[in-house]
Structure 1
Amino acid sequence: MVGESRQTAPDSRARKAPSRQSRSCKVCRARKVKCDRVKPCHACCAHGYPSKCVYENVPDEEARPISQAEEIRNLRSEIRELRARIDERNDGSRAQDLERLDQLESLFESIRSAPLSVVDSLVRDIRTEQSGLKKDLVKVGPWEGYEAYERYASPVSVIAIRKRSRNGSPESNFNDPIFGDDEDGDFGDIISIGEGSDSSSSSGTISIMNMQRPAVDVFVERFVDAFAPEVDSRHGRAGALRAAAGIRMFSPLISDAFEAVSVAFFGRSIQNKQIEASGFRLYPRVLRSLQDALIDPERSKAESTLVTVILLLAFEQSVERTTQTGVPAHVRGAVRLIEHRGPENHMYGVEHLLFTELRPYWIGGALAARQPSFLAREEWKTVPWAAGTTKKDILHHLVDIATEIPGLLAQSDAFKEAQATQRMGVQEMAVKQAALWNGITECTAQFQQWYIDWVECYPEGPIQELEQTGDQDFPIFKRRNLRTGEIYAPTRFSYPNLLLAQTMCVYYAVRLILSSIDTRPEDRVTPMEQYEFGCGICRTMEYYILTAPGNMINRLAFPTRVAWEAFPDGGPEQAFMVEVLQLVERRHALGLWGSAMPELSVRENSPLNNAEL
């Protein structure tokens, strides 16, 4: 009996262990700190890793972690139902519904806007109690231009946010266009114009912007719809910035950054200089906070810092583009930050999505810089996917090979410089050249095998060739017959999804770049093959640009610039590309395209050429 009890005791402990472990998130257990069981918990938010807050083995409702996002969805739903009920009733119960509506709106605004310490307690209390709010308001604020008033009920505590009126008394601030009948909402009172100014003029004096929180949410939603559109997974992933917007309530830095770029973006999109200027008014604060985070050893690795850097990069690249060097500078900064964080910090959550979605951009930056990239190291090709957050698709398998090209470009440039300066002996030059040719041969063979394994057997179907029709006023691509010199309109490529279209354009681009340094006596890429690679990108443009939602078009920016440099000046190919660039700038307000993107050049004198990535 004794032996039997000794054998069964460990099993009993093993069965109980998951329930105990579920009381804390994985990060708090690893750090051996107290977890408040909010999802994301206060500890994860404080250290800048809200999306890493993961709970496992949760056996029952009591142990289930609390989710602020879930409570916001529930409150939105109940508020809509209450408003509909209030509109239908004219009896005595209308007053009760109005009181309940005011309470719910206070809860909703509190969860979105109050300090994290308050939100954590509030959401936990909502889960455990459903009592009413009875006591008077007691001031506990202000923060961020709002006064906070705490309503006490036993045991629920609620923070009711009220914006100050001109006479100093709190007034209701819950005219939320998200809940209204008009989806666009009324933004007429978002900005206070100085006296004597004309609302239609860009020269009016703008006072400090009293932006209503619900209006900011609308701006953020529109920004996210443009930069992280919801697409079918077959078309590739585009939800990183959308996921980042979902955690902004847990980080003042992310929240301020989203507010600044989304307000400026919205103002520019509707050509309202006042709104646009109000967004840029917030920029200095965001930049100062970001600079403070970057110089701090702990905060520089925080999720909030990475999100803010990527957000400003997206905005600079697509909307503002103050100078030609702006985008390269942001790319350099983002890539250095990613390297500083290490591959293990890109395995989960928003950090993983940002790294994987933008990985082709980082390789594009390394190719333009013509410098070896840390992304070619094996750990950067494996560790970010080790947790199974996502799986590598056809594009990422291609990028694995492309990471080797920046190093080969650097080898080629060094070899040419040595030839010009005659710094090396004949024997040493022969060794260097052989090493370069071997690298090109191996890389070319990997690309050919990738094409066989992934493109020829693509499960969604093959690439089709269709006649160009000029649909939606899209320019007709014309090319040369390299044998006869005849100029004609070839077929266009049509793809089963956007992912394959983007992947093929990246494939044509990296093959073109590699071929530019291919001087092997045998098996080198011929000028005719180079021309076909460039034409392949042009024949894909109509499908991708007319199909891709929002600013997903930017994923074709780098291949487009590479194709531009592959064609002779003054030919029909570049004339077509000029029309396409102007079309994209006109329809999508993307200044990067209208400039022909010189900062993305892969030539030796490109803006990124001397930058380390």
Structure 2
Amino acid sequence: MVGDTRQVANDSRVRKASNRQSRSCKVCRLRKVKCDRVKPCHACCAHGYPSKCVYESVPDEDARPISQAEEIRNLRDEIKDLRTRINDRQDGSQTQHLQRLDQLASLFESIRSAPLSVVDDLVRDIRTTQGGLKKDLTPVGPWEGLEAYEQYDYLRQSSPVSVIPIRNTISNGSPEQNFNDPIILGDDEDDDDDEEEEEERMSIGSGSDSSGTVSIMSVQRPAVDVFVERFVDAFSPQVDLKSGKAGAIRAAAGIRMFSPLISDAFEAVSVAFFGRSVQNKQIEASGFRLYPRVLRGLQDALNDPERCKAESTLVTVTLLLAFESVERTTQRGVPAHVRGAVRLIEHRGPENHMYGVEHLLFTELRPYWIAGALAARQPSFLAREEWKTIPWSAGTTNKDINHHLLDLAVEVPGLLAQSDIFQEEQRSSLMGAQEIAVKQAALWNGITNLTARFEEWYNEWVINYPDGAPQDVEQSADQEFPIFKQRDLRTGAIFVPTILSYPNLLLAQTMALYYSFRLILSSIDTRPEDRVTPIQQYGFGCGICRTLQWYIQTAPGNMINRLAFPTRVAWEALPDNGPERGFMLKVLQLVERRHALGLWGSGMAELSVRENSPLNTE
């Protein structure tokens, strides 16, 4: 009997211990630190990994984690409800409602924009009390986030896109600031700019009172939220899996409340994008004014051993890459941010890209990271086996036809580098005939092997694609899209070919990438037999051109950016002064006009993969 009692007690202790353990998230349990049971918890937020805060199933309702996003959403709902009640009632309770409204507005604004130390205190108070805050709210100060808000006024709340600048503190001309390779070179902004920005923030804050705080939030914050939503809809549209995953930016927007760095980055890029899309130079320039602070915050994070590995840092670099595709502040902007993102990814390791936002940023944007290695013509760590397997090992997403192609493409940069070195050694006349023969054979063997694997991939994944292969469609003159014309290389005659129609966006993007990878690999193929012929190369380039119309007219938002690299590769592969180049020039102008993407309008020279490209010879 005593033994049974002890056994029951032991079982009870085991069950209680199990319940207590399940109340902590997996990260806190692995790190053996205290977890506050909020999702995401304070510890994960403090270390910059809110999306990694995962809870295992728990046996009772009391152990269910609290959503911090729900807390913020509840605050917003209560503010909205109080405003409605204030407008409807004019009795003695109005003062009480106004006081509560001011308190909630100050709390919400402080959580959104205060320094991390202040936010930690406020969130801790919310989590540890049921009857209100333990101490007075820290008033919203002039520390950040206000300099651009004075540019906007909602004159029609029912039409959130109708935003009118009410004070012009910026030149009416195009933005003139250039931000050249800041995250790589570590350039510091001019101290005078810092002083002017700080003086402006102080002047804005000094004229505010408690009612001013509510005014800022009720008028200007909704404007910024609209800009962010529009930016997210453009760069991370909601699509099905057959269109290709596009949820990385949207997922990052969902965690921006936990990171001032991400929040500032979203404001800068979304305001600039909105201004450019509606052709309002004042709004666009306001996004530029926020940009230097984002760069300084990013530089601080990169210099911090802990924060440089945080997902907030990777998110910010990716947002700045999107910003450069819109504004193209310099020719080096896009490649600089691609290199910065790739270095961060390598530094973080494959294990840190298995879950959450980090996984989406790595997998969805993987073509960009590989394109960066191709443009640099240097071997990439992405070709290592662990980078082809570990990010998918947790089953967060599954590899599709595109990723199986990219598993082959990551080997092309190494062969480009091998070819460049071989060509340079040949020109220097430092190698003997035997050494030349050995190195040339090694290069040709690598090209032969990879070419065969590309062809095997095509037979396995494209010919047997479940939704069907691409179909030929006649071009119609009754449309706003340019007509593609190509040349018969045997006779020289120019004719109008069919264009390609695809069962879904994923296959269209994958085929455009396939044509571009084959073109790049064939550029170094000097084998005496079985090499890709000029006619085949021309066919690959035309294949990309024949894909553009269907993809541009079908893809939502700015998913067209996914064909930027293949488009540049086709441009370099097709003959000068031919009808093909004329067609592509019209397409570039069309995309810039419709999607407000300055990168396309520039011709995308920074995406060049040529050996003698100016960006690759410095």
TM more than 0.5: yes
CA distance in 1, matches of 2:394, 2:356: 11
Does 1:293 pair with 2:301? yes
> Out of 385, 388, 393, which is 1:381 matched to?
388
Partner SS for 1:304: helix
The Cα of 1:85 is off from its aligned counterpart by 7.3
**What does residue 120 of structure 1 align with?**
123
Distance change in 2, residues 1:306/1:95 (3 Å): same
After superposition, the C-alpha distances for 1:557-586 in whole angstroms (9 at most, x for unaligned) are 110011111111111111111111111112
Structure 1 residues 57 and 578: alpha-carbon distance in aligned structure 2, compared to 1, 3 A threshold: same
Residue in 1 that maps onto 2:193: none
Q: Does 1:493 align with 2:497?
A: no
Please name the residue that 2:184 is paired with: none
Question: What is the alpha-carbon distance in structure 1 between the residues aligned to residue 543 and residue 360 of structure 2?
Answer: 29
Correspondence 1:127-206 to 2 at 5 A = 129=130, 138=136, 140-145=138-143, 180-184=157-161, 186-189=163-166, 192-193=167-168
Q: TM-score, normalised by structure 2?
A: 0.84
Q: Is the 8 A contact 1:464 1:493 kept in 2?
A: yes
Q: Given the alignment of the two structures, is residue 575 of structure 1 paired with residue 556 of structure 2, yes or no?
A: no
Give the AA of the match of 2:443.
Answer: L
| Match in the other structure for 1:358 | 365
User: Do residues 307 (structure 1) and 315 (structure 2) align?
Assistant: yes
1:249 is matched with which residue: 243, 257, 266?
A: 257
**2:243 match:** 235
Find the partner of 2:410 among 397, 403, 407.
Answer: 403
Find out whether 1:32 has 2:12 as its counterpart. Answer: no
Give SS of 2:520's match: helix
Match of 2:278 among 270, 284, 292: 270
When residues 608 and 105 of structure 1 are mapped into structure 2, their CA distance, relative to the original with a 3 A threshold, is same
Report the counterpart of residue 44 of structure 1 in structure 2. 44
Deviation digits for residues 73-92 of structure 1, max 9, x if unmatched?
445556666767777x6696
**Structure 1 residue 98: Cα displacement:** 5.7
Greater helix percent: which structure?
2
Secondary structure class of the residue paired with 2:558: helix
Q: CA deviation at 1:460?
A: 2.4
Pick the aligned partner of 1:469 from 473, 476, 482: 476
Contact (CA 8 Å) 1:116, 1:250: kept in 2 or not?
Answer: no
Q: Which residue identity is paired with 2:538?
A: Y
Please give the alpha-carbon distance, in whole angstroms, between the structure 2 residues aligned to 1:486 and 1:8: 90
Counting matched residue pairs gives 575
- CA shift in 2, pair 1:267/1:441, >3 Å: same
Q: How does 1:576-591 map to 2 (within 5 A)?
A: 576-591=583-598
Spell out, residue by residue over 1:93-126, the C-alpha distance to the aligned partner (whole angstroms, 9 max, x if none).
995996576676566545544543245335535x
Q: Distance in 1 between matches of 2:72 and 2:483?
A: 49
CA RMSD of aligned residues (A): 3.4
Tell me the CA shift for residue 436 of structure 1: 0.9
Partner of 2:270: helix, strand, or coil?
helix
Q: What is the CA distance between 1:524 and its match in structure 2?
A: 1.2
* 1:280 shift after superposition: 1.9
TM-superposed deviation, 1:484: 2.7
> Bigger CA drift: 270-279 or 362-371?
270-279
**Take 2:237 and 2:326, find their aligned partners in 1: how far apart are those partners?**
16
SS in structure 1 of the partner of residue 61 of structure 2: coil
Whether the 8 Å CA contact 1:82–1:97 is kept in 2: the answer is no
Q: Which residue of 2 aligns with 1:158?
A: none
> What amino acid is the match of 2:248?
A
- Please give the secondary structure, in 1, of the residue aligned with 2:472: strand
Q: Which amino acid aligns with 1:67?
A: S
8 Å Cα contact 1:463/1:496 also seen in 2: yes
Report the Cα offset of residue 430 of structure 1.
Answer: 1.2
Quick check: 2:112–2:260 contact (8 Å CA) kept in 1?
no
Name the stretch that deviates more: 34-43 or 362-371.
34-43
Counterpart position of 1:151: none
What CA distance in whole angstroms lies between the structure 2 residues aligned with 1:57 and 1:284? 43
Deviation for aligned residue 1:411: 1.1
1:505 and 2:508 correspond: no
Q: 1:422, 1:593 → 2: CA distance?
A: 41
What is the SS of the residue equivalent to 1:282?
A: helix
Q: C-alpha distance in 1, partners of 2:355/2:7? A: 39
The residue correspondences of 1:332-351 to structure 2 (distance < 5 A) are 332-351=339-358
Aligned to 1:493, the other structure's residue is in SS state strand
**Displacement after TM superposition at 1:427 (Å):** 1.4
Task: Compute the TM-score of the two structures, normalised by the length of structure 1.
Answer: 0.85
What does residue 72 of structure 2 align with? 72
User: 1:201/1:292 Cα in 2 relative to 1: closer, same or farther (>3 Å)?
Assistant: closer
Q: Please say which of residues 102-111 and 564-573 is displaced more in the overlay.
A: 102-111
| Corresponding residue number in structure 2 for 1:450 | 457
Is residue 2:320 matched to residue 1:322?
no
2:273–2:326 Cα contact (<8 Å) kept: yes
SS of corresponding position for 1:477: coil
Partners of 1:72 and 1:237 in 2: how far apart?
A: 28
Distance 2:468 2:528 in 1: 37
Equivalent residue, structure 2, for 1:284: 292
Residue 445 of structure 2 corresponds to which residue in structure 1? 438
Contact 1:328 1:607 in 2 (8 A): no
Partner SS state of residue 473, structure 1 = coil
CA deviations over 1:238-271 (Å, ceiling 9, x no partner): 1211211221111121122222222222223333
Counterparts of 1:103 and 1:178, CA distance in 2? 26
Partner of 2:229 in structure 1?
Answer: 221
Indicate if the aligned counterparts of 1:66 and 1:124 stay in contact, CA closer than 8 A. Answer: no
**Residue range with higher mean Cα deviation, 564-573 or 332-341:** 332-341
